[in-house]
C-alpha cells in the first residue's frame, strides 16, 4: 500500500520535471496548481501514522544499518520513532526533523522515500562518514487529526483532517524553551541532549501564496538561526547547510527558493536548538499545507510530486556534503542577495 503510494508520487515528479524543460526556468518554479477552492485536496492519499510505522519497521528489517528507537509518546500515547544510521560515533551527525506541525505532511512523505533510498546501495560509502538521525512526524496526533478540539472548518476532504497543533492545542514549535509538551520533551531529552548532533534541518510547509521578485511563487524558503545569542560559528555552519540546499535546488526547473522572514524568538527550533545545543540549524519551509481552515495555506495535491522531490533532494545533498566534508567549503555569500519572500497580493 505504502510502496504503491510513494511510487505514484515519484511518477508525478517525472511528469512535472518533463514539462518544466519546455518552460522558462523561473516561470516553471512554484507553479504547481494552487488550491483556489476548486483543486482536489484529499488527505486519504497521505500516509497515516500507522502506515508510516509499518513502513519503518519493514525498512528496519530489510536495512542492516538502520535502527529504530522509540523516544517517547505523544499526548494521545502514540510512540514517537527516531530512525538512526550510526556507523561511527566520531562521524559528524545530522538530524532531519519533520511535522512538528501536523498539517505539513509532504516533508514526511519525502523523508520516508529518502529512508528507502538509504537502503538501496546508492548511498553506499556515504553512510560510513556521516551519522544520520531522522525524526519523521513528531506531531503524530495533529497529523492524524486526533486532537482535543474541533477541526470541522478545515478544508481538505478525505478520511481525516490534519492540524498544526498537538492534541492539547499547543504549537510544538513554540515550546522549545519551556518544553512542556510530551513531544517537545521527547525530542529534547532523548535526541538533542542524548546525541552529539552537528546539523539539523527542521522541515515545514508554509502558505501557498509566498513570492519573491514581486510575483514569482516560491517552492520554499530557507533560513539560518537569527537570534543574537547564537554563536557566530554556529550561524556560519548553518549558512553553509543552507548553501548546500540552495546549490542543489536552484538548478531545478521546479524549484525557486526565497529567504524566510524570521525573527529572534528562541521558542522555535531554528533558534532555540542552535542556542541551547550549538547545533547548526536550517529551517526549510516548503510550499503549501496538506490541510487548514485558511484556503491560502493549502495546496492542491498535483504539487505533491515536486514537493516530495524537493525534500528527497534536500536530504540527499546535505547528507553527502556532510559526509565528504564539502559542507565546510560552501560559499555563503548567496544569503546576502537571496530575496526575502513576501505574501502575494491579490490583484
Ligand atoms: Zn510548520
For the chain, 347 residues long, give each residue's pLDDT as a single digit of tens.
343 444 334 433 333 333 333 333 333 455 555 666 566 788 888 999 999 999 999 999 999 999 999 999 999 999 999 999 999 999 999 999 999 999 999 999 999 999 999 999 888 899 999 999 999 999 999 999 999 999 999 988 899 999 999 999 999 999 999 999 999 999 999 999 999 999 999 999 999 999 999 899 999 999 999 999 999 999 999 999 999 999 999 999 999 999 999 999 999 999 999 999 999 999 999 999 889 998 888 888 788 899 999 999 999 999 999 999 999 999 999 999 999 999 987 65
- Residue 7's pLDDT is 39
Instruction: Retrieve residue 329's grid coordinates.
Output: 567549503
In degrees, rounded to 5, the angle at the alpha carbon of residue 225 between the alpha carbons of residues 221 and 229 is 160
Q: How far, in Å, is the centroid of ligand 1 from the Cα of 24?
A: 30
Phi, psi of 59 (to 5 degrees): -65, -40
Residue reference for cell 536530504: 315
Alpha-carbon distances, residue 274 vs 173, 185, 237, 281 (angstroms): 14, 16, 11, 6
Q: CA–CA separation, 100 vs 136, rounded Å? A: 9
- Residue 40's pLDDT is 74
Q: How far, in Å, is the centroid of ligand 1 from the Cα of 280?
A: 19
Q: How far, in Å, is the centroid of ligand 1 from the Cα of 311?
A: 14
Q: How far, in Å, is the centroid of ligand 1 from the Cα of 104?
A: 6
Catalytically annotated residues? 285
Q: How far, in Å, is the centroid of ligand 1 from the Cα of 196?
A: 25
Alpha-carbon distances, residue 23 vs 26, 28, 29, 31 (angstroms): 8, 6, 9, 11
- Residue 167's pLDDT is 98
Tally of CA atoms within 13 A in the half-sphere of 207 that contains its CB: 14
pTM of the full predicted structure?
A: 0.91
With a CB cutoff of 8 Å and minimum separation 6, the contacts of 250 are 257
Tell me the H-state helices in the chain: 2-20, 25-28, 49-62, 106-118, 140-143, 182-187, 232-249, 269-277, 304-324
The 3-state DSSP class for residue 233 equals helix
> Interhelix angle for 304-324 vs 106-118, to 10°?
50
Tell me the H-state helices in 21-83: 25-28, 49-62
Q: How far, in Å, is the centroid of ligand 1 from the Cα of 313?
A: 19
Q: How far, in Å, is the centroid of ligand 1 from the Cα of 99?
A: 7
Sign for the pseudo-dihedral over CA of 247, 251, 254, 255: positive
Specify which residues 299 forms β-bridges with.
34
Of 307, 252, 253, 315, nearest in space to 285 by CA: 307
Of 260, 240, 242, 238, nearest in space to 250 by CA: 242
Domains of the chain: 2-224+240-330 (3.40.630.10)
Phi, psi of 169 (to 5 degrees): 80, 20
Instruction: Retrieve residue 308's grid coordinates.
Output: 516530495
Q: How far, in Å, is the centroid of ligand 1 from the Cα of 173?
A: 8
- Residue 345's pLDDT is 79
Indicate the DSSP class of residue 93: E
- Residue 27's pLDDT is 37
With a CB cutoff of 8 Å and minimum separation 6, the contacts of 337 are none
- Residue 31's pLDDT is 53
Q: How far, in Å, is the centroid of ligand 1 from the Cα of 291?
A: 12
Q: How far, in Å, is the centroid of ligand 1 from the Cα of 12?
A: 24
Check: CB of residue 186 under 8 Å from CB of residue 88. Answer: no
With a CB cutoff of 8 Å and minimum separation 6, the contacts of 345 are none
Q: How far, in Å, is the centroid of ligand 1 from the Cα of 102?
A: 8
- Residue 79's pLDDT is 98
Instruction: Retrieve residue 246's grid coordinates.
Output: 540552495
Q: CA–CA separation, 35 vs 211, rounded Å? A: 16
Residue reference for cell 520533551: 185
Amino acid at each position: 500500500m505504502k510502496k504503491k503510494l510513494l511510487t505514484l508520487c515519484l511518477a508525478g515528479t517525472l511528469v512535472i520535471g518533463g514539462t518544466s524543460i519546455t518552460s522558462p526556468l523561473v516561470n516553471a518554479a512554484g507553479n504547481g496548481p494552487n488550491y483556489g477552492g476548486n483543486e482536489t485536496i484529499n488527505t486519504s492519499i497521505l500516509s497515516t501514522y500507522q502506515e508510516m510505522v509499518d513502513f519503518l519497521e519493514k525498512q528496519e528489517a530489510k536495512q542492516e544499518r538502520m535502527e529504530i528507537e522509540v523516544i517517547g509518546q505523544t499526548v494521545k500515547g502514540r510512540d514517537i520513532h527516531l530512525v538512526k544510521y550510526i556507523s561511527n560515533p566520531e562521524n559528524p551527525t545530522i538530524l532531519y526533523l519533520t511535522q512538528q506541525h501536523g498539517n505539513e505532511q509532504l516533508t514526511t512523505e519525502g523523508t520516508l522515500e529518502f529512508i528507502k533510498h538509504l537502503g538501496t546501495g546508492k548511498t553506499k560509502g556515504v553512510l560510513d562518514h556521516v551519522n544520520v538521525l531522522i525524526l519523521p512526524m513528531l506531531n503524530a496526533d495533529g497529523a492524524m487529526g486526533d486532537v482535543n478540539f474541533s477541526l470541522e472548518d478545515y478544508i481538505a476532504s478525505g478520511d481525516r483532517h490534519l492540524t498544526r497543533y498537538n492534541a492539547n492545542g499547543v504549537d510544538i514549535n513554540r515550546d522549545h524553551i519551556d518544553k512542556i509538551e510530551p513531544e517537545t520533551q521527547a525530542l529534547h531529552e532523548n535526541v538533542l541532549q542524548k546525541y552529539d548532533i552537528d546539523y539539523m534541518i527542521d522541515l515545514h510547509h508554509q502558505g501557498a501564496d509566498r513570492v519573491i521578485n514581486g510575483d514569482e511563487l516560491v517552492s520554499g524558503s530557507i533560513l539560518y538561526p537569527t537570534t543574537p545569542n547564537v554563536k557566530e560559528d554556529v550561524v556560519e555552519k548553518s549558512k553553509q547547510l543552507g548553501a548546500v540546499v540552495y546549490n542543489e535546488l536552484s538548478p531545478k526547473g521546479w524549484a525557486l527558493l526565497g529567504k524566510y522572514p524570521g525573527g529572534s524568538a528562541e521558542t522555535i527550533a531554528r533558534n532555540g536548538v542552535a542556542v541551547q545545543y550549538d547545533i547548526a540549524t536550517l529551517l526549510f519551509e516548503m510550499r503549501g499545507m496538506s490541510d487548514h481552515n485558511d484556503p491560502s495555506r493549502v495546496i492542491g495535491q498535483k504539487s505533491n510530486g515536486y514537493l516530495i522531490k524537493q525534500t528527497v533532494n534536500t536530504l540527499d545533498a546535505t547528507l553527502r556534503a556532510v559526509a565528504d566534508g564539502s559542507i565546510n567549503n560552501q560559499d555563503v555569500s548567496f544569503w546576502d542577495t537571496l530575496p526575502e519572500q513576501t505574501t502575494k497580493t491579490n490583484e
